[in-house]
Amino acid sequence: MHHLRDPVYRETVDRLGEDEREGEAVRMLGRWRDRTKATALAIGGVVGVVLGSIGYYVMQEIQFDHGGVASIKVSITAAMAAWLATFVASAFIGRRVVLARTTAKLGVLARDYEVPIEKLRDIANMVGKL
């Protein structure tokens, strides 16, 4: 199968048609957005486990220093709060990365699939509002 930028493809008739190319470009945009957000969440989840472990340890030490006894519920609550905060922050960062890089990605997709960038921008804006 020839890639859209392949000169052989350009010498033949438009077999896919603009609607099909546009649809494929939109699918690729969606996959990129999902992959980018999922990567941010995965990194946040791993970092959150590390920070949660540190939060557990620190809370336990604080409790020992101030009363000689540590409550596992308080320590786990601190660990979960650290993990959750990191996870929420990573979701926010993932959305910000997508927003910051969408214009560049639309340019690449418009070029690769030979569709007007305005159409892709309209669809990206509509999806971004959901």
Instruction: Tell whether 13 is covered by a domain.
Output: no
**pLDDT tens-digit profile of 12-27?**
555 668 789 999 999 9
- The number of beta carbons lying within 10 Å of the beta carbon of residue 7 is 7
Instruction: Tell whether 76 is covered by a domain.
Output: yes
Instruction: Tell whether 34 is covered by a domain.
Output: yes
DSSP 13: -
* Total domain count, the chain: 1
Instruction: Tell whether 11 is covered by a domain.
Output: no
Going by C-alpha positions, the residue among 92, 102, 96, 100 that lies closest to residue 122 is 102
pTM: 0.75
Instruction: Tell whether 82 is covered by a domain.
Output: yes
Instruction: Tell whether 8 is covered by a domain.
Output: no
| Residue 112 domain boundaries | 21-128
Q: Specify whether the CB–CB gap between 106 and 91 falls below 8 A.
A: no
Instruction: Tell whether 111 is covered by a domain.
Output: yes
pLDDT at 30: 93
**pLDDT tens-digit profile of 74-130?**
999 999 999 999 999 999 999 999 999 999 999 999 999 999 999 899 988 888 765
Instruction: Tell whether 1 is covered by a domain.
Output: no
